[in-house]
């Protein structure tokens, strides 16, 4: 490349963009992520707009601008409304509340107490998001702009230093140095595997010269994880910039983002972002006026978990069944359309611009020895604060569940955390103080995976959860290789037998043996990791399996087949309602004296219990 002088002064553009934000007057940020949209954020925005028209006559602000932002990650508290100038975050805002916020706070200067976040530990109201534990304990880098800027605005992205890193690498014009910087940062693949990103880039760059591709894996298939959705929806330009920097480094001019079809909003926002970036020469032909060109296409997935596997994803982009291919030929050499291909996950690319701007040292100062930087986790399940978090990689599970997550809901007891979804494992009380990095998690049979964290309490049956994940992977197994196709099916059959109370102790041995074989001999990551939930739950909760098999009991009281419904004779008034409700005629008795359930006929549907006015039907 000869032409290095850029025809866009990014610093100048930044100033203009910051000026543009300043001229917006009072900014009211309304979350427009998938979660808040479902809770009615469109109507909230409309109402604010309507009221905001009079803001100049009522307050000292000459203008009020409603900013539709991406996901804040605090979906359960949606709709979230943040007014930065007033240092206030409102939660669970409904359209009916907007007028009160406007009149009382924006006009009258008095915050609306009842719409502030309540700290689950202290019961105190908290106004500033910096003081909400859920946010205060995070280090947001990849997610820094999510929820802070208008998700569909290039200008707002520019104001937050968007495309500055790309300008920097183009100006310096040393692709190899870019790769070195990424290598030095210690960034590892955020999609699950944790492969060093810089090394991957280096190996693709060896095949420089001909056509090559940059692919972003946005097929976030792990049920329970949504960090990639948040980045694509909330800060699409950061992802595009990261891809462009990668393309420049390895000498590629074409890229694909493979997004799940279940994420229509992410697809829409990416399309808008690509178009706007191309119109302004941050993407497309002759980026920044240089001879570097990079075009990005969107490929919509069609609902197949296995397409998150790199070679299956490539097959899918090529229009075929998404089946993995053997990896004897590395895709750095022959990937998409048989050309050298670099494939990274959304979050990985989103970290790239920051590393370029702040330096490898900045990035590697966070985290642990071999796991640098931050990681986003999707915290869900039985915790008080569910949502998306980003923390340095040395954060412990305890900090995540009890500080950020605010502890277990309804005062229940912590039991386990499933990390990494159907490919991951479970972590128990003994792991609470372990830093959540790649090596530590691997050593206890789990994995960072996509970063899904599902918190389970004492009421969750661990065997049923293992069955749930096996059901998922069995269903999603593409069927190409025998160990995965047949192995998952048989493991599922055994797990189903156990939760139905028909398991034997020999089944546990067979289950373990099958798990080892599937793990060792499957073709791709799906099969190799499918037994993880089984193996790790067997390791930490073997007694629960045994309770199901030997005692025919589900300690958590979840597995229907192992439940027993009985009528407490002291509470029963003999009204006969349960006998009439019972679909199989298993209940009998004499009016005005206690009724009885015939256990041999009972199908455990619970109709008797739901209908009893005296709470006389008991479950054990």
Partner 1 sequence: MIKSTIDIDFSKIDDILKSYNYEKSSLIAILQKVQELYKYLPEEAITYIGERMEGLSPATVYGVATFYAQFSLEPKGKYEIKVCDGTACHVRGSSGVLAAIKEKLNLEKGKFTTADGLFSLEIVSCLGACGLAPAIVVNGTVHPQMTPDAVSTIIDTLVSKERG
Q: How far apart are CA 440 and CA 446, in angstroms?
A: 9
Is 405 a binding residue for partner 1 by CB under 8 A? The answer is: no
> Interface mask (CB under 8 A) for partner 1, residues 218-257, using x and -?
--xxxxxxx--x----------------------------
Q: Between residue 185 and residue 224, which ones bind partner 1 under the rule CB under 8 A?
A: 220-224
For residue 58, the surrounding DSSP H or E stretch is helix 55-58
Paired with 88 in beta bridges are 83
Which range touches partner 1 (CB under 8 A), out of 52-60, 260-268, 355-363, 435-443?
260-268
Does 483 engage in binding with partner 1 (CB under 8 A)? no
Would you say 185 or 529 has its CB closer to partner 1? 529
Which of 134, 201, 213, 263 contacts partner 1 by CB under 8 A? 263
Select from 161, 200, 237, 299 the one that contacts partner 1 (CB under 8 A).
299
Q: What is the 3-state secondary structure (H, E, C) of 311-377?
A: HHHHHHHCCCCCCCCCCCCCCCCCCHHHCCEEEEEHHHHHHHHHHHHHCHHHHHCCECCCCECEEEE
What are the structure tokens assigned to 93, written together?
């805002």
Q: How far apart are the first and last CA of the chain?
A: 74
Structure tokens at 308: 């998150």
- Could you give the 3-state DSSP secondary structure of residue 27? strand
Nearer to partner 1, 245 or 556 (CB): 556
Out of 35, 194, 335, 392, the residue judged to bind partner 1 by CB under 8 A: 35
User: Contact with partner 1 (CB under 8 A): which of 1, 38, 329, 584?
Assistant: 38
Which span sits near partner 1 by CB under 8 A: 2-10, 31-39, 94-102, 354-362? 31-39
Q: Kindly state whether residue 269 participates in binding partner 1, applying the rule CB under 8 A.
A: no
> What kind and span of H or E run contains 467?
helix 462-476
Among 53, 121, 136, 302, interactor with partner 1 by CB under 8 A: 302
Interface segment toward partner 1; rule CB under 8 A; list 102-110, 461-469, 563-571, 588-596: 461-469
Using CB under 8 A as the binding criterion, the count of chain residues that bind partner 1 stands at 56
- Residue 452 binds partner 1 (CB under 8 A): yes
Closer of 210 and 319 to partner 1 (Cβ): 319
Least distance to partner 1 from the beta carbon of 187, Å? 24
Phi and psi angles of residue 291, each rounded to the nearest 5 degrees, phi first: -90, 15
By the rule CB under 8 A, 147 interacts with partner 1: no
Among 261, 505, 603, 619, binds partner 1 (CB under 8 A): 261
Task: Out of 149, 246, 378, 484, point to the residue binding partner 1 (CB under 8 A).
Answer: 378
Q: How far apart are alpha carbons 401 and 454 in whole angstroms? A: 10
The single residue among 63, 136, 264, 509 that binds partner 1, judged by CB under 8 A, is: 264
Binds partner 1 by CB under 8 A, chosen from 460, 474, 529, 536 = 460
Going along 93-181, which residue ranges are E strands?
117-118, 125-126
Largest CA distance in the chain: 97
Give the nearest distance from C-beta 602 to partner 1 in angstroms. Answer: 18
- Please identify which residue in 381, 406, 525, 589 interacts with partner 1, judged by CB under 8 A: 381
| Token pair for 619 | 């479950």
- The minimum distance between CB 611 and partner 1, in angstroms, equals 14
Task: Write the CB contacts of 258 (distance below 8 Å, at least 6 apart in sequence).
Answer: 215, 216, 217, 218, 219, 299, 301, 307, 313, 316, 317
CB 495 within 8 A of CB 511: yes
Cβ–Cβ under 8 Å, residues 581 and 567: no
Does residue 458 interact with partner 1 by CB under 8 A? Answer: no
Letter string b/e over residues 385-408, b meaning 16 or more CB atoms within 10 A of that residue's CB: bbbbbbbbbbbbbebbbbbbbbbb
Of 92 and 281, nearer to partner 1 (C-beta) is 92
Alpha-carbon span 249 to 260, nearest angstrom? 27
Query: What does the alpha-carbon distance between residue 581 and residue 566 come to, in Å, rounded to a whole number?
Result: 15
Please, are residues 141 and 354 in contact by the beta-carbon 8 Å criterion? yes
Per CB under 8 A, the segment of 194-202, 301-309, 489-497, 587-595 that binds partner 1 is: 301-309
Quick one: 133 or 205, whose CB is closer to partner 1? 133
The site string for partner 1 over 65-104 (x = CB under 8 A, - otherwise) reads: ---------xxx-x--------------------------
Residue located via tokens 């074409």 = 254
Instruction: Give SS3 for 251.
Output: coil
Nearer to partner 1, 136 or 302 (CB): 302
Residue 15 makes CB contacts below 8 A (sequence gap 6+) with none
User: Which of 287, 304, 466, 562 forms a contact with partner 1 (CB under 8 A)?
Assistant: 304
Give the residues lining the site for partner 1 (CB under 8 A): 34-35, 37-39, 74-76, 78, 220-226, 229, 261-264, 299-305, 316-323, 337, 378, 380-382, 386-387, 418, 421-422, 452, 454, 456, 460, 465, 468-469, 472, 476, 478
């Amino acid at each position: 490349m000869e032409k290095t002088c850029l025809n866009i002064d990014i610093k100048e553009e930044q100033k203009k963009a910051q000026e543009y934000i300043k001229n917006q007057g009072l900014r009211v940020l309304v979350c427009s992520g998938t979660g808040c949209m479902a809770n009615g954020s469109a109507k909230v925005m409309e109402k604010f707009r309507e009221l905001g028209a009079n803001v100049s006559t009522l307050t000292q602000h000459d203008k009020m601008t409603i900013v539709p932002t991406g996901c804040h990650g605090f979906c359960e508290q949606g709709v979230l409304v943040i007014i930065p100038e007033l240092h206030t975050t409102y939660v669970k805002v409904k359209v009916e509340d907007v007028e009160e916020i406007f009149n009382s706070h924006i006009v009258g200067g008095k915050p609306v107490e009842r719409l502030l976040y309540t700290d689950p530990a202290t019961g105190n109201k908290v106004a500033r998001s910096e003081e909400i534990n859920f946010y205060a304990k995070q280090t947001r880098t990849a997610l820094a702009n999510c929820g802070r800027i208008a998700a569909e605005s290039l200008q707002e992205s520019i104001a937050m230093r968007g495309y500055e890193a790309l300008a920097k690498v183009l100006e310096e014009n040393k692709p190899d140095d870019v790769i070195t910087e990424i290598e030095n940062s210690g960034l590892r693949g955020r999609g699950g595997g944790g492969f060093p990103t810089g090394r991957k880039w280096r190996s693709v760059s060896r095949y420089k010269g001909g056509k090559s591709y940059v692919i972003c894996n946005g097929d976030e298939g792990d049920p329970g994880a949504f960090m990639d959705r948040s980045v694509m929806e909330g800060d699409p330009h950061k992802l595009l910039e990261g891809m462009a920097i990668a393309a420049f480094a390895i000498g590629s001019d074409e890229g694909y983002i493979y997004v799940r079809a279940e994420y229509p909003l992410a697809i829409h926002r990416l399309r808008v972002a690509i178009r706007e970036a191309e119109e302004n020469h941050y993407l497309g032909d002759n980026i920044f006026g240089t001879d570097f060109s990079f075009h990005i296409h969107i490929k919509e997935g069609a609902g197949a978990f296995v397409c998150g596997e790199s070679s299956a994803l490539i097959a899918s982009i090529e229009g075929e069944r998404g089946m993995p291919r053997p990896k004897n030929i590395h895709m750095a050499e022959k990937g998409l359309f048989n050309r050298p291909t670099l494939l990274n996950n959304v979050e990985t690319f989103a970290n790239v611009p920051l590393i370029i701007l702040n330096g490898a040292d900045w990035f590697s100062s966070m985290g642990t020895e071999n796991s640098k930087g931050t990681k986003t986790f999707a915290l869900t399940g039985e915790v008080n604060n569910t949502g998306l978090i980003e923390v340095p990689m040395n954060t412990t599970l305890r900090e995540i569940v009890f500080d950020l997550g605010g502890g277990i809901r309804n005062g229940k007891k912590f039991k386990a955390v499933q990390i990494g979804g159907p490919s991951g494992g479970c972590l128990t009380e003994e792991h609470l103080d372990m830093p959540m990095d790649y090596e530590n998690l691997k050593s206890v049979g789990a994995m960072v995976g996509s970063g899904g964290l599902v918190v389970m309490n004492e009421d969750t049956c661990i065997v049923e959860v293992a069955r749930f994940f096996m059901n998922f992977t069995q269903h999603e197994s593409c069927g190409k290789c025998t160990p995965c196709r047949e192995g998952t099916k048989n493991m599922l059959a055994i797990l189903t037998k156990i939760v139905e109370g028909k398991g034997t102790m020999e089944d546990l041995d067979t289950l373990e043996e099958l798990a080892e074989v599937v793990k060792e001999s499957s073709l791709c990551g799906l099969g190799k990791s499918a037994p993880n939930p089984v193996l790790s739950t067997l390791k930490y909760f073997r007694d629960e399996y045994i309770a199901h098999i030997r005692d025919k009991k589900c300690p958590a009281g979840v597995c229907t087949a192992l439940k027993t419904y009985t009528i407490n004779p002291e509470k029963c008034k003999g009204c006969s309602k349960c006998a009439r409700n019972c679909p199989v005629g298993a209940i009998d008795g004499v009016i005005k004296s206690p009724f009885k359930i015939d256990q041999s006929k009972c199908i455990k549907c619970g109709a008797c219990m739901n209908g009893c006015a005296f709470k006389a039907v008991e479950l054990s």
